[in-house]
Amino acid sequence: MAIKVFGSTKCSTAKKAVGAVSTVMWRDHFFFEKADCTSEDIETANITIELRDKRFLVSDSLIGSYSMDLTYVYFQKGHALVHKWLALANPESQDFAKIRGFLKVGVAVLAEGDDQVDLDVAEAQEMKDEDLLLPPQIQPKSCQLVVRAIKGEKFPKMDSTGTIDAFIECEFAGSKVRTSIMEADKANMAVEWYEDLLVSAT
């Protein structure tokens, strides 16, 4: 991974044996400083984050990247983006509108006198994964996930005087839905819902 700010580039450690469905964690921190910044410097500067395939005999190949304005980050709460998902695209490829992967990052832009930001803060429950930043060339499409809850059986007995009041809960892209609450029968500890759970996402 390479981060570019103010004409400087810093790279993360390279990860080996990464496949198409791998999850990789870096936990690297990068610091950039710019002395004697003018307002024009800040307004025109951006942060570019690139994910690259490390090669030894030829130049590293670009997998995908995301670029954001410094001012966009600075005017966020606390002058920072914390636990933010970025969708990566490759502007150098023919299929430049295709998502090439996702990165979760923390970014802070601070001026002299601003309070420091803890980007290592634990991820809170209200930080929803549907809050995804997309490159401008990628146009999101709405979709709907349908989960059909049919039946379940051999549930454990949870009630002192009855059986169990069971429901199914589905969470997708930050949205959460659930079935009706049904009491299991005593013979098979079974519940029949026959309900469709509809979850929409963009």
Alpha-carbon gap, residue 82 to 66, rounded angstroms: 16
- Residue 56, pLDDT score: 64
**Whole-angstrom Cα Rg for the chain:** 23
139-189 pLDDT per residue, tens: 777 778 899 999 999 999 999 888 999 999 998 767 789 999 999 999 999
Interacting residues of 156 by C-beta distance below 8 A, sequence separation 6+: 164, 189
Mean pLDDT to the nearest integer, 66-82: 92
Mean pLDDT to the nearest integer, 25-31: 88
Residue predicted with more confidence, 39 or 193: 193
- CB of 163 closer than 8 Å to CB of 127: no
- Residue 25, pLDDT score: 83
Report the SS3 class of residue 53. Answer: strand
Q: Which of 52, 43, 46 is nearest to 135 (CA)?
A: 46
Task: Provide the token pair at 184.
Answer: 């299991």
49-63 pLDDT per residue, tens: 999 888 765 667 888
Buried b (16+ CB within 10 A) or exposed e, 108-135: bbeeeeeeebeeeeeeeeeeeeeebebb
| pLDDT over 80 (residue 192) | yes
Interacting residues of 144 by C-beta distance below 8 A, sequence separation 6+: 198, 199, 200, 201
Whole-prediction pTM: 0.64
Plot region of 27 (φ>0 → left; ψ -120 to 50 → alpha; else → beta): left
Cβ atoms within 10 Å of 101's Cβ, excluding its own = 15
Give the residue extent of every domain in the chain: 2-133, 143-201
Mean pLDDT to the nearest integer, 12-27: 78
- Residue 149, pLDDT score: 94
Percent of the chain at pLDDT above 70? 90
Residue predicted with more confidence, 60 or 10: 10
